[in-house]
Amino acid sequence: MQIAARMSRLGTESAFEVLARAKALEAQGKSVINLGIGQPDFPTPPHVVEAAIKALRDGHHGYTPANGILPLREAVCAEIAARYGKTVSPDRIVIVPGGKVTMATAIEMFGEPGAEIMYPDPGFPIYESLVNYTGAKACGYPLLEKDGFAFRADDLLARITPATRLLIVNSPANPTGGVAPAEEVKKLAEGLQRFPNVVLMADEIYSRLVLDGDGTYASLIPYLDQLQDRLIILEGWSKTYAMTGWRLGWGLWPQKLAEIATRLAINTHSCVNAATQFAGIAALTGPQDAVETMRQAFRRRRDLCVAGLNQIAGISCIRPEGAFYAFPNITGTGLNARQIQDGLLEEAGVATIAGTSFGRHGEGYVRLSFAASDEAISEALQRIAGFLAGRKQKH
Query: Where on the chain is the footprint of ligand PLP (CB under 6 A)?
Result: 38, 98-100, 124, 170, 174, 203, 205, 236, 238, 244, 249
**Omega into 172 within 30° of 0, i.e. cis?**
yes
Is 189 exposed, middle or buried (CB count within 10 Å of its CB: 0-12, 13-18, 19+)?
A: buried
Given the complex with ligand PLP, which of 349 and 362 has the nearer CB atom?
Answer: 362
Residue-wise over 364-380: b if at least 16 C-beta within 10 A, else e? bbbbbbbbbeeebbebb
**CB 45, min distance to ligand PLP, A:** 17
**CB 388, min distance to ligand PLP, A:** 28
Given the complex with ligand PLP, which of 174 and 356 has the nearer CB atom?
Answer: 174
**CB 193, min distance to ligand PLP, A:** 26
Given the complex with ligand PLP, which of 153 and 243 has the nearer CB atom?
Answer: 243
**CB 390, min distance to ligand PLP, A:** 32
Q: DSSP assignment, residue 251?
A: E
Given the complex with ligand PLP, which of 99 and 122 has the nearer CB atom?
Answer: 99
Q: Which residue is nearest to ligand PLP (CB)?
A: 98
**CB 242, min distance to ligand PLP, A:** 11
Residue (of 226, 221, 223, 228) closest to 254 by Cα position = 228
What is the torsional sign of CA 241, 211, 235, 13? Answer: negative
Given the complex with ligand PLP, which of 132 and 238 has the nearer CB atom?
Answer: 238
Q: DSSP assignment, residue 316?
A: B
Query: Bridge-partner residues for 168, per DSSP?
Result: 201
Query: Bridge-partner residues for 199, per DSSP?
Result: 166
What is the torsional sign of CA 116, 122, 125, 127? Answer: negative
Residue (of 235, 290, 215, 222) closest to 76 by Cα position = 235
In what helix (H) or strand (E) does residue 100 lie, and over which residues does it extend? helix 99-110
Given the complex with ligand PLP, which of 184 and 381 has the nearer CB atom?
Answer: 184
Given the complex with ligand PLP, which of 38 and 111 has the nearer CB atom?
Answer: 38
Sorted by sequence, the CB contacts under 8 Å of residue 390 that are 6+ apart come out as: none
**CB 246, min distance to ligand PLP, A:** 9
**Omega into 254 within 30° of 0, i.e. cis?**
no
**CB 174, min distance to ligand PLP, A:** 3
**CB 271, min distance to ligand PLP, A:** 16
Given the complex with ligand PLP, which of 67 and 238 has the nearer CB atom?
Answer: 238
Q: Distance between CA 78 and CA 62 in Å, rounded?
A: 26
